[in-house]
Structure 1
Amino acid sequence: MPYTKIDPGSTKQDARTGRKLHGPEKAAILFLCLGEARGSELMKQLDDNDIQKITRAVSGLGVIPAPWVEEVITEFSETVATGAGVVGSLAIAENMLRSFLPPDQVNSILKDIRGPLQERDLWTKLGTMHEAVIGEYLNREHEQTAAVILSKLPTEIAARSLAQLPLERMHTVVERMIRMKAVPAETMRHIEESLQRDLIANSTQQGSTEMQKRMADLFNKLDRDTFEALSHKLEQRMPEDFGTIRQKMFTFDDLLRLDLQSLARVMRALQGNVLPMALRGATTEMRDHFLAALPIRSRDMLLDEMNTMGPVRGREVRAAQSAIVDCARALVAQEVIRMPSAEDEEEFID
C-alpha cells in the first residue's frame, strides 16, 4: 500500500474526547490498521527518527476508540485525494521489484524504463547549463546538429544560447530550424550520445567554473566594506577557492591597471554625472589616474563639477563606481580595451 508521510507537527482534536491526536499518533494508528505484516514492511521504508517516533506512539496508545480510527483514516484518504500524498521514484520501484522477482527479470524491466528517463534527464541537465557553455558547444557542431539541439531546448534557453553564435552562423542555424522536419531516431540517438559524452559528462567542472564567475560578479557588486568583511573570513576558511574567485574579479581599484588611452575610452562611454560621483569617493591615486587620462579642458570641467556637487551619499558613490566597472568590463568583453595580464605587469630588473 502506498503511504503518505504525516507531518509530525500536525495535530487534530478528536470531537468526542477533546484529546488532540499528534502526527506520530495518527501515523501509529494507520500502521496498526495495516496489520503487523504490512505495517512492518512499510516501517522499513522510514528513517530511524520516524521509526522511533512511531514506535513510541504505538506503545503509548493503548486501546484506540473507533472514532479515532475513523477520523485518522478519513483524514488520510482526504490528504491523498487532494494530491498531497505519495512519493514514487525509480529507486523505490526497483526495490519493490527485487523483493519478489529474479534479478535478470528486474534488469530487463528497468532497461525499458531507464531509457526514456535518462533521455529526459539529459535534456533537463542541458537546460540548466549556462548559455555560454551551450553556445560554445553549438559553435563547434554542424549547423544541422545545432539546430536540432536548440529545437529540443526550452525556448528561453535556446534563445540565449543562439545569441552566443556568430551572426552568419546564427542565420544558418535559424534557417535550418525553420525548415526542420522530423529527426530520425538514429540521428537523435547519436546527437544525445555526443551531448552526454562531450558536454554533460564535463558539466561538473564547467559548473564549478561558472559558479566562480558568478561569485566574482556578485562580489563586484558589493560595497567595499561588505566585501572586505567577507573576504577576511573567506581567505581563512577557503583560501584556494576564494583566491581563484578573486582573480576573476574586476573591481573599481583595478581601473588603475588600465593604460590612459583605455581609461579615456571608458570615460567617453559614461553618461550623466557617473564619473564625478564615482571620483568623489575615490582615493587620491585613483582620481589622479582618471584626471591624467583627460585633456586639460575636460579635466578642469570635471573638477568644477565635482566641487559643486556638495555632499553625496555613500551608496550613490558606490553605485557610480559599479557602473564604471560594468562599462569597463563590457568594453573588455567587446575587445575594445584590454586588461593587462599578470605577465604584462611582471617587473623586469636590469
Structure 2
Amino acid sequence: MATTSVTKTQKAAVLMMLFGEKAAADILRNLAPREVQHLGSAMYQVNDIDNDTLDEIIEEFLIALRKESGIGLGAPGYIQNIMTEALGDDKAQSVLSRINPMDTNKPIEILDWMDARAIAELIADEHPQIMALVIACLDYGLAAEVLGLLPDELQGDLVHRIAALNTVQPEPLKDLEQVMQRKFKQSSTMRASQIGGVKAAARILNFTRSDMEQRILGNLRKEDKTLMQSIEDNMFVFDNLIKSDDRSMQTLMRSVEAELLVLALKGADEELQAKLLSCMSTRAAANIRDEMEAMGPVRLTEVQEAQKQIVAVARRMADEGTIVLAGRGGEQMV
C-alpha cells in the first residue's frame, strides 16, 4: 500500500499504534470528541499496512517533526498563566475570550461525547431558548446533526436564537445546568462564556444539507432579513475553496463548466486562481487563462453569481460525500 493511498488520519492512526498504549491514551485525552471518533475508527483500518508503507509514514513523521520549532509548545497554557498573573482571573478570562474565543470554557462540554439523537431527545421537551443554548454549546458538526433531528418548524427559530446569542452570563448557564443535571455531571466555571452568535449560527448551517439550509434561511428572511444576510455572509463562500484539499478540488473542477469557471475566477485573487488551476490539466488551465484574458471587464454581480453556482455544486457534492470541503464537515483532518 503506497502512502499516497493512505489518508492523513490513517497515518496518524498508524503512529498512534506505534506510540504504545500510555502515550496514545495521553494524546487522545487532548483531542476533541469528533477527532477521537475519527482517529479511533482509522486505527481499526490500518492493521494491514505493509512494512514499506510503515517506513514511509515514520520517515514522513520524523521529517515533519524536525521542521517544528518548540516555540508553540504549551503556548495556550503559558499565555493563560501570564495573563492571569498580570490581570487577575476575571480580567484575564475576558481578554482570552476575545483573542482566543475557541479557548473559552464550554458549559456543557460533556454533550460533545453524546450521540446526536440522544441530545435531541434530551432537549426535545425544553423551551426553545434552552434548546438553542444547548445546540450553541456543541461542536458545529454535532450541532447540525441535532438541529436536523428536531422538528422542521422549530429549526428556523432555533438558528435565529443561536445567532442572537453572544456572551452568556453565569446566571442563565446556572439555570441551564439545573435543567440538564439529571442527565450528566456539570463542570462549567462561574464566569461569562462566549456562546452562539452569527458566526456560530453560520458554521452550524455550513454542516447542514443544502435543502435544510435553504429552508431555514428562507424562514429567517421572513422574520429578520438583516440577520439572515449576516448569517449568509459568514457561511461557506467561493474564497473558502482554497482551504480544501487538492483531490477534492480536482473532482470539483471536472464537474464545473469551463465558461462558469472563467467567470468565477475573474473575481478571485491570484492565490485562489493558482490553487484551482493547479487542480486541472496543464492544457485545461491554459485554456481557462486565455479565456479570462480574452473576456475583458465583467460585472461584479455576474462574477458573484458564477461563484455562488460553483459553491452550490461543491456543497451538493460534499452532501453526497464525493468531496470534502474544509469547514463543512466530512472527514476531520489530524
| Alignment TM-score > 0.5, same fold | no
TM range (shorter): 0.3 to 0.5
Instruction: Look at both structures and tell me which one has the larger radius of gyration over its CA atoms.
Output: 1
